[in-house]
Chains A and B, each alone.
Chain A
Amino acid sequence: MTGDELCIPIFKRLRQDGTLYPVEESQVQGEPSQDASPIERDTALRIYRTMLFTRVLDERMLAAQRQGRLSFYMQCTGEEATVIGSAAALQDDDMIMAQYREQGALAWRGFSCDEFMNQMFGNERDYGKGRQMPIHYGSRDLHYMTISSPLATQIPQATGYAYGQKLAGKGQCTITIFGEGAASEGDFHAALNMASVHRVPCIFLCRNNGYAISTPSCEQFAADGIAPRAFGYHMQSIRVDGNDVIAVYEATLAARKIAVETHQPVLIEAMTYRLAAHSSSDDPSGYRSKKEEAIWRDKDPILRMRNWLEAQGWWSEEEEKATGDQLRREVLESMKRAEKLAPPALDTLISDVYDTPTPLLTQQLEDVKQHIRKYPHAYPKGAASMGFTSQELEDSRKVYQERHQRVDGGQTS
């Protein structure tokens, strides 16, 4: 038998026009609910508002990056149903270990607009103390593991985390979210194999969004995607329409039940599309067609959910407009606040390397301070943290201005 013979169908619930598929057509695996509203009203509206927030955040922050106000950004656009639909199916104290494009899940958990902004602007209120690039969020209170840049490293960590949850016996699970590109890393295999052998309550959610930066999935793997790999690990698996929030929600609910009640990992492959660029440093026009993007724009997960909500009588044009306006205002105001806040204190240069700084680190910090005292104008953030006034910085600049000009033609600030 070859891999081609194992072709896994896609679990779907919602058509683009907002009507539900008949149950017999949608039921591939799991137990989709039979009632008219598979997600109850309050949850559905909260999911939808989170989707709108994430879309607004993405649009505004990409614009801010283009204006030079932000060094970097990554959009969730096109994948909101996968990310937020799955998060909504979990308990609040289940751990989320994401890759980097899952801000929607964090927004679902209640991470505030200001908290997002503080991280992106790396100001003194950033929980990560201005150490990582924008979008590397984390929240201990919201059980959302701080993002790490190296790809796929969080997948075996999720296995270990979930093992600890199993030992603790409090009925929690871990979900780890990653792209189909990350599934090529050895970490993926290590994680699924160990999770299966040691029976850990972990949900592995692959966002199969078509591209790993510029590499299309057809150059990433030869087989039928990621879902069939689970069988090699003796693990349950489901492939869902990742732009169908109801399918993702129900699949994750079912996966959670299996993970927590039987201590077995589950693999979910969500078929979606990265509508935006990989990051603000990427330009997809170099590797994919406008036509291809247009096809997927027609499958917009937010529009699909809106159609369904309106058909339920739960949402209207007026609410759409009012919510959009309010969110845009909120994001802009929050951004302005975050931009004005001070950078992290200079002492954070050496904190958190160890539980307490070593004598050598303390001495290195003292050396840096000594140097800044001599040239405060060259280190405005550190100097401000040490209490230098802008007048003192200016005086210092004047002292060295002539020498700088001779060295580099006045380029040094």
Chain B
Amino acid sequence: MNMLQAINNALNIAMAANPRVVLFGEDVGVFGGVFRATSHLQDKYGRERCFNTPLTEQGIIGFANGLAAQGSTPVAEIQFADYIFPAFDQIVNEAAKFRYRSGDLFDVGGLTIRTPYGGGIAGGLYHSQSPEAYFAHTPGLKIVIPRNPHQAKGLLLAAIRDPNPVLFMEPKRLYRASVGEVPEADYELPLGVADVIREGRDITLLGWGAQMEVIEKAAALAEQDGIDCEIIDLRSILPWDIETVCDSVLKTGRLVVSHEAPLTGGFASEIAATVQERCFLYLEAPIRRVTGLDTPFPLVLEKEHLPDELKIYEAIKQSLNY
């Protein structure tokens, strides 16, 4: 199964299991979404539960907030994460604060927002952004990013059933590129828990989403130099698994964090600050961040802009040689 099929499979299971799950967004109806993540769902569950909306991101999320407050389980699609900003107010001021501001009288816990993010598809400025850090500054949201089809299905099912609003960001470069074994059955993977993909002794490599593939390649390069890397997929950006990350750094004494989004104010900054606070005396070298440049996302020079395995490999060596 590829990642799109895994997502489609998860949505199908969620809709079959719970009649209150409702899917909507731009082009998600008969067309099945521009990436086909919602293929055939309208056929199966009808136009009332899977439908196209007008072109209005703030409308989609405002509508989703109301529907969730009413007790339904909306799964709203924003066609590209680059276009989520018109809905920013409805996400950060409304969805994230609904339960808190009403003292738990009302909540939009049933809400899940799905959105494709990230570069590597020749998408240029407006089809490549990774806006997770903007939302990570907002208490009340959960932010989840899968790295492969198996993770996508288990995490998406957990996101839909989680009693909090979840922003589920899908690495679109991997939609068809990432293929793997995915059980047909209904299963969930825990939110807020990082996944230690590989244990290692010398250095901790941390990332999420499409970046995990790149990090694994960098670790393979470093292995040829006799460097034993521990690799962690954060999976949930908010809340994030501080314990697992810090336990790893306490063991290895070194940390490289990598994400596609720009450096300044990126989520790696938050991780670096927390890790130095908790692991200061165990650190053997400064924490390294390997990220996109502090520029808008380019088109032609995409490879130069993005953090790739060679850039991460260099950061690993610098950390080891510090």
Determine whether B90 belongs to the interface, using a CB cutoff of 8 Å to chain A: yes
Residues A340-394 near B (CB distance < 8 A): 348, 351-355, 358-360
Determine whether B101 belongs to the interface, using a CB cutoff of 8 Å to chain A: yes
| Complex CA distance for A190 and B56, rounded to whole angstroms | 6
Determine whether B183 belongs to the interface, using a CB cutoff of 8 Å to chain A: no
From B69, B97, B139, B243, name the one whose CB has the most chain A CB atoms within 10 angstroms: B69
Contact with A along B78-103 (1 / 0, CB 8 A): 00000000100110011001011111
Determine whether B252 belongs to the interface, using a CB cutoff of 8 Å to chain A: no
Determine whether B292 belongs to the interface, using a CB cutoff of 8 Å to chain A: no
User: Are B163 and A198 neighbours in the complex by a CB distance under 8 Å?
Assistant: no
* Contact A160-B65, Cβ < 8 Å, known A153-B93, A165-B70, A186-B86: yes
Residues A78-115 near B (CB distance < 8 A): 95, 97
Determine whether B74 belongs to the interface, using a CB cutoff of 8 Å to chain A: yes
User: Are A160 and B105 neighbours in the complex by a CB distance under 8 Å?
Assistant: no
| Complex CA distance for A127 and B99, rounded to whole angstroms | 11
| Complex CA distance for A362 and B66, rounded to whole angstroms | 29
Determine whether A279 belongs to the interface, using a CB cutoff of 8 Å to chain B: no
Determine whether B192 belongs to the interface, using a CB cutoff of 8 Å to chain A: yes
B142 to chain A, nearest CB (A): 8
Q: Which chain A residue shows the least CB distance to B96?
A: A353
| Complex CA distance for A108 and B158, rounded to whole angstroms | 41
Partner of B63, one of A129, A194, A351: A194
Residues A121-179 near B (CB distance < 8 A): 126-129, 131-132, 136, 138-140, 145-146, 148, 150, 153, 155-165, 167-168, 174
User: Are A146 and B56 neighbours in the complex by a CB distance under 8 Å?
Assistant: no
| Complex CA distance for A8 and B74, rounded to whole angstroms | 38
Determine whether B152 belongs to the interface, using a CB cutoff of 8 Å to chain A: no
User: Are B62 and A156 neighbours in the complex by a CB distance under 8 Å?
Assistant: yes
User: Are B243 and A157 neighbours in the complex by a CB distance under 8 Å?
Assistant: no
Number of chain B residues close to chain A: CB under 8 A: 47
| Complex CA distance for A296 and B102, rounded to whole angstroms | 35
User: Are B74 and A160 neighbours in the complex by a CB distance under 8 Å?
Assistant: yes
Please, which residues of chain A bring their CB within 8 A of the CB of B243?
359
User: Are B103 and A129 neighbours in the complex by a CB distance under 8 Å?
Assistant: yes
Contact with B along A170-207 (1 / 0, CB 8 A): 00001000000000001101110110011000000000
User: Are A140 and B105 neighbours in the complex by a CB distance under 8 Å?
Assistant: yes
User: Are B99 and A352 neighbours in the complex by a CB distance under 8 Å?
Assistant: yes
Contact with B along A55-99 (1 / 0, CB 8 A): 000000000000000000000000000000000000000010100
Partner of A186, one of B58, B72, B107, B109: B58
Partner of B56, one of A150, A168, A194: A194
Determine whether B239 belongs to the interface, using a CB cutoff of 8 Å to chain A: yes
Kindly specify which of B47-55, B118-126, B217-225 makes contact with the partner chain: B47-55
A228 to chain B, nearest CB (A): 20
User: Are A352 and B100 neighbours in the complex by a CB distance under 8 Å?
Assistant: yes
User: Are B58 and A161 neighbours in the complex by a CB distance under 8 Å?
Assistant: no
User: Are A132 and B101 neighbours in the complex by a CB distance under 8 Å?
Assistant: yes
| Complex CA distance for A126 and B101, rounded to whole angstroms | 11
Q: Which chain A residue shows the least CB distance to B19?
A: A167
From B59, B65, B107, B192, name the one whose CB has the most chain A CB atoms within 10 angstroms: B59
Residues A225-264 near B (CB distance < 8 A): none
User: Are A360 and B239 neighbours in the complex by a CB distance under 8 Å?
Assistant: yes
Q: Which chain B residue shows the least CB distance to A153?
A: B94
* Contact A161-B100, Cβ < 8 Å, known A191-B62, A193-B59, A194-B59: no
User: Are A355 and B192 neighbours in the complex by a CB distance under 8 Å?
Assistant: no
Please, which residues of chain B bring their CB within 8 A of the CB of A162?
66
B274 to chain A, nearest CB (A): 9
User: Are B48 and A167 neighbours in the complex by a CB distance under 8 Å?
Assistant: yes
Partner of A138, one of B48, B105, B140, B164: B105
B107 to chain A, nearest CB (A): 8
Determine whether B4 belongs to the interface, using a CB cutoff of 8 Å to chain A: no
Residues B195-253 near A (CB distance < 8 A): 239, 242-243
| Complex CA distance for A70 and B45, rounded to whole angstroms | 52
B27 to chain A, nearest CB (A): 14
User: Are B58 and A146 neighbours in the complex by a CB distance under 8 Å?
Assistant: no
Please, which residues of chain A bring their CB within 8 A of the CB of B239?
354, 358-360
Please, which residues of chain B bring their CB within 8 A of the CB of A167?
20, 22, 48, 72
B29 to chain A, nearest CB (A): 12
Partner of B71, one of A129, A138, A153, A164: A164
Determine whether B64 belongs to the interface, using a CB cutoff of 8 Å to chain A: yes
Determine whether B187 belongs to the interface, using a CB cutoff of 8 Å to chain A: no
| Complex CA distance for A146 and B106, rounded to whole angstroms | 8
User: Are B101 and A160 neighbours in the complex by a CB distance under 8 Å?
Assistant: no
Please, which residues of chain A bring their CB within 8 A of the CB of B67?
160-161, 163-164
* Contact A197-B105, Cβ < 8 Å, known A153-B89, A161-B69, A164-B66: no
Hey, which bits of chain A sit against chain B, CB under 8 A? 95, 97, 126-129, 131-132, 136, 138-140, 145-146, 148, 150, 153, 155-165, 167-168, 174, 186-187, 189-191, 193-194, 197-198, 348, 351-355, 358-360
The 10 lowest CB-CB distance pairs between A and B, nearest first, are A156-B62, A160-B66, A190-B59, A164-B70, A157-B66, A146-B102, A160-B63, A161-B66, A160-B67, A129-B103
Hey, which bits of chain B sit against chain A, CB under 8 A? 20, 22, 48, 51, 53-54, 56, 58-59, 61-72, 74, 86, 89-90, 93-94, 97, 99-107, 109, 139-140, 142, 163-164, 192, 239, 242-243
